[in-house]
A and B are shown apart, each in its own frame.
Chain A
Amino acid sequence: MSSLISWFKAGRTSGQYTLPFVVILLSMTVLASVANLLLPQESIFYVSTYSITLLGKYLCYAMLALAVDIIWGYCGILSLGHGAFFALGGYAMGMYLMRQIGDRGVYGNPILPDFMVFLDWQELPWFWLGMDQFWFAMIMAVVVPGLLAFVFGWLAFRSRVTGVYLSIMTQALTYALLLSFFRNEMGFGGNNGLTDFKEILGFDLQSDLTRVALFITTALLLALVLLVSQRILSSRLGKVTLAVRDSEARTRFIGYRTERYKVWLFVYSAVIAGIAGALYVPQVGIINPGEFSPINSIEIVIWVAVGGRGTLIGAIIGALLVNYAKTRFTAIMPDGWLFALGALFVLVTLFLPKGLIGLYGQIQSKRQASVTQEASK
């Protein structure tokens, strides 16, 4: 019995790196923030506002990758449409920020955003009502993606749409939303989307302090989401999730209503994506239908794969790394960066089948192999 308990403890090691990772993440965040706010620009340790914004954006992507990893890595649902939830969260935030502009828009209309004025809209569409309240907008930022995920997931999982069929349907979903949001009639600013934000909760979006605050908020939320997800996934629910991934039919035969597990996990993941989107918008300053584009969603999946799927930290690292690579490559070799990025994807797939995180395991198992070999001699 006691031996079993010790096994039991030993068996649940998947989360052992989470806490150290969170600690590193948060201390880096604090250091960067302090370096930005307190150090003089001339200091070599100064972190520019550009870098802070960039880091903030990366962290939003990391959260998005985390959301995808939860359902793809752990539940086997390959969503090629997660960008949609991200974008919906982003739009909710964007609408709030848009309303915050008030009469400081170019046409000086206190109610209507500029794009409505010059397209001759007479009044605010109903779905814009209440979006001037921060709390309401934030509720929408999680409720709308969550609700969409719920409806979509409920339909799809109940009908047992699985595998590539599901993936392509999620893609169809985001594609349909892309086309819809492009339409100016929708009332979301069409292709231009929402931009030209001024302030959030009364704080000037262009001030360094606000930026740092947003950055820290993102880091904190990312850490929180990571911890909660880790907790969920290492509970028995996590095991059921893995079971669903490996053999959904078998899981049903031992009495789990797999579709409910999938729906809730999908909703959870969509909500995280929505939160990531809401954090993303004030930091990059624009939300437009491009975020719905299927290619974006595919890229998210790729971040996860590069980092190592089925490992939450891997997803985060993958998102950070790929996006950092993108930033560097586009600046260093604007004409050839796609070669580098493409090659990166191919090479990671070929040589790091379990992603960057798997590299660690790969090295370890090599070492182990040589140890056993020696032992056998």
Chain B
Amino acid sequence: MKAIDQSIQGFRETFRRDLVWPFLAPEKITNVDVSNQMILYVEGLNLSFDGFKALNDLNLYIKDGELRCLIGANGAGKTTLMDVITGKTTPDSGSVFFGQTHNLLSKDEADIAQLGIGRKFQKPTVFEEQTVFDNLELSLKTDKRVIQTLFSRLSPTEMDRIDEVLNIIGLKEQCFMKAGALSHGQKQWLEIGMLLVSDPRLLLIDEPVAGMTAQETERTAELLTSLAGERTVIVVEHDMEFVRSIARTVTVLHQGSVLAEGSMDQIQSNQDVIQVYLGEDAMEAEL
């Protein structure tokens, strides 16, 4: 009797609408709890690839509305960190929380994106076979469930938003060009544009100005600064001039863990950082 009861119980449990049938599960409408001012908690993150430690007991806290620069030698683990935050890679151990309640490690990419974490990839990745416009339309912050997507219409506000972003990224003329036909730099812009229309809470931006001219770099800097406050921005860049122009706090990663953290000036004079990253005469060389 008991066994039957249990199995019925088990059966019920298995068939709970929200558990087993992800297709039927109601979409969670969530708010990020930032009552402690912090929006991102990264604690004790470890990740190794075939014995190689890409992330090594990494701890990182990002304040809500902050613009944080993340620098560090090639291979320090910056991109890998973003992979972990966005759900692309699962770490061996550690925890990542978005606000106080959302454990990112238990969510998949789509969930994380819907929570409001947007990402620009190091290597520009856009939908090459679709137009610039469509790329932007797809990235809009909307209900992304299947049925809703099927019946969605582009609202005037959304169209305005796209129009606006097209202006910002300077691809208005290429609006109906296939994204695959854009030049490298144009793709970079398009990706930034996709990030902008999706209106995320937290932006992870991997090397936005690579391949841009000085002026474009400046514009990007302006753009990112203007975004901060309302949103939280984490930028990875190797262009020190750019970093200096936007940075309030800079975190230096080295061999998978934080080497130094502080203002740009502090960092620039930090001997360790100079040794592993900037180089002895870094600033002169840059200019």
A interface residues, Cβ below 8 angstroms from B: 1, 4-5, 7-8, 10-11, 232, 235-237, 239-240, 242-243, 245-247, 249-258, 260-261, 263-264
Give every chain B residue within 8 A of A243 (Cβ-Cβ).
127, 130, 138
CA gap between A245 and B128 in the complex, in Å: 10
8 examples of A-B residue contacts, CB within 8 angstroms: A236-B138, A237-B146, A254-B139, A254-B194, A256-B110, A256-B149, A257-B145, A258-B110
In contact, A235 and B151 (Cβ under 8 angstroms): yes
Query: A253 contacts which of B119, B134, B150 (Cβ < 8 Å)?
Result: B119
* Given contacts A232-B150, A254-B194, A256-B144, A8 and B109 within 8 Å (CB-CB): no
- Decide yes or no whether B59 CB sits under 8 A from chain A: no
In contact, B125 and A254 (Cβ under 8 angstroms): no
Most buried by A among B119, B129, B138: B138
- Decide yes or no whether B113 CB sits under 8 A from chain A: yes
Closest residue on chain B to residue A252 by CB atoms: B109
B residues 126-142 near A (Cβ < 8 Å) are: 126-131, 133-134, 137-139
In contact, A235 and B152 (Cβ under 8 angstroms): yes
CA gap between A36 and B88 in the complex, in Å: 61
Closest residue on chain B to residue A264 by CB atoms: B146
CA gap between A217 and B125 in the complex, in Å: 45
Give every chain B residue within 8 A of A247 (Cβ-Cβ).
125, 127-128
CA gap between A8 and B88 in the complex, in Å: 34
* Given contacts A237-B150, A239-B138, A253 and B129 within 8 Å (CB-CB): no
Closest residue on chain A to residue B108 by CB atoms: A252
Closest residue on chain A to residue B141 by CB atoms: A255
Query: A236 contacts which of B22, B88, B149, B176 (Cβ < 8 Å)?
Result: B149
CA gap between A242 and B131 in the complex, in Å: 11
| Distance (whole angstroms) from the CB of B198 to the closest CB of chain A | 6
Question: A235-B151, A246-B129, A257-B144 known; 17 other A-B pairs, CB under 8 Å?
Answer: A4-B163, A8-B159, A232-B150, A235-B152, A237-B146, A243-B127, A246-B128, A247-B125, A253-B88, A254-B138, A254-B198, A255-B110, A257-B146, A258-B110, A260-B23, A260-B145, A264-B146
| Distance (whole angstroms) from the CB of A376 to the closest CB of chain B | 19
CA gap between A71 and B226 in the complex, in Å: 42
Closest residue on chain A to residue B160 by CB atoms: A1
CA gap between A257 and B25 in the complex, in Å: 13
In contact, A253 and B109 (Cβ under 8 angstroms): yes
CA gap between A240 and B129 in the complex, in Å: 12
- Interface of A: prevailing SS: helix
| Distance (whole angstroms) from the CB of B88 to the closest CB of chain A | 8
| Distance (whole angstroms) from the CB of B50 to the closest CB of chain A | 21
| Distance (whole angstroms) from the CB of B264 to the closest CB of chain A | 30
* Given contacts A4-B159, A4-B162, A239-B130, A250 and B113 within 8 Å (CB-CB): no
* Given contacts A235-B151, A254-B198, A245 and B129 within 8 Å (CB-CB): yes
CA gap between A243 and B140 in the complex, in Å: 14
CA gap between A264 and B198 in the complex, in Å: 24
- Decide yes or no whether B154 CB sits under 8 A from chain A: yes
- Decide yes or no whether B46 CB sits under 8 A from chain A: no
* Given contacts A240-B149, A255-B144, A260-B23, A7 and B113 within 8 Å (CB-CB): no
In contact, A250 and B159 (Cβ under 8 angstroms): no
- Decide yes or no whether B79 CB sits under 8 A from chain A: no
Give every chain A residue within 8 A of B108 (Cβ-Cβ).
252
In contact, A263 and B138 (Cβ under 8 angstroms): no
- Decide yes or no whether B114 CB sits under 8 A from chain A: yes
In contact, A240 and B138 (Cβ under 8 angstroms): yes
Give every chain A residue within 8 A of B194 (Cβ-Cβ).
254
| Distance (whole angstroms) from the CB of A53 to the closest CB of chain B | 36
Interface flags, B139-183, vs A, CB<8A=1, else 0: 100001110011110100001101100000000000110000000
CA gap between A7 and B160 in the complex, in Å: 13
- Decide yes or no whether B249 CB sits under 8 A from chain A: no
Give every chain B residue within 8 A of A249 (Cβ-Cβ).
88, 109
In contact, A239 and B134 (Cβ under 8 angstroms): yes
- Decide yes or no whether B56 CB sits under 8 A from chain A: no
B residues 72-120 near A (Cβ < 8 Å) are: 86, 88, 108-110, 113-114, 118-119
CA gap between A261 and B194 in the complex, in Å: 21
